[in-house]
């Protein structure tokens, strides 16, 4: 997790630094509906490479937005889940959803 002193002074820039990438935003969108396995994320995020997906998840875990859960089921597997801090981002996704809809209505 980045220390407070290392964050940009501007709050918008802070958000951009944390999630200002196509894949991170789409990962959050995917995790809104519940925890997901890597394979599920890869299927939903058409075009993402394994490397970028892994790096994005890893940096989101570091930043406290995503939890990595090891499930002791048969077969054991890993799922990713939004933390409470990650869930607090949902209003941003919601305004993005509204704006995307508005934009398309203007075409």
Question: Rule CB under 8 A: is residue 21 a binding residue for a copy of itself?
Answer: yes
**CA–CA separation, 42 and 100 (whole Å):** 23
Question: Rule CB under 8 A: is residue 43 a binding residue for a copy of itself?
Answer: no
- According to DSSP, residue 4 is labeled G
Question: Rule CB under 8 A: is residue 71 a binding residue for a copy of itself?
Answer: no
- Token readout for 36 is 């997901």
Question: Rule CB under 8 A: is residue 47 a binding residue for a copy of itself?
Answer: no
Helix (H) or strand (E) holding 69: strand 66-71
Question: Rule CB under 8 A: is residue 98 a binding residue for a copy of itself?
Answer: yes
Residue whose C-alpha is closest to residue 20's, from 35, 34, 32, 10: 10
Residues of this chain that interact with a copy of itself (CB under 8 A) are 1-4, 7, 10-18, 20-22, 25-26, 29, 64, 85, 88-89, 91-104, 106-107
């Amino acid at each position: 997790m980045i220390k407070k002193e290392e964050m940009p002074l501007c709050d918008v820039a802070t958000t951009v630094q944390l999630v200002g990438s196509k894949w991170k935003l789409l990962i959050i969108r995917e995790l809104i509906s519940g925890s997901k396995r890597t394979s599920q994320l890869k299927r939903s995020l058409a075009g993402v490479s394994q490397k970028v997906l892994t790096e994005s998840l890893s940096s989101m875990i570091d930043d406290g937005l995503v939890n990595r859960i090891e499930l002791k089921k048969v077969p054991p597997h890993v799922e990713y889940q939004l933390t409470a801090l990650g869930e607090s981002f949902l209003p941003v996704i919601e305004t993005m959803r509204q704006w995307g809809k508005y934009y398309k209505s203007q075409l």
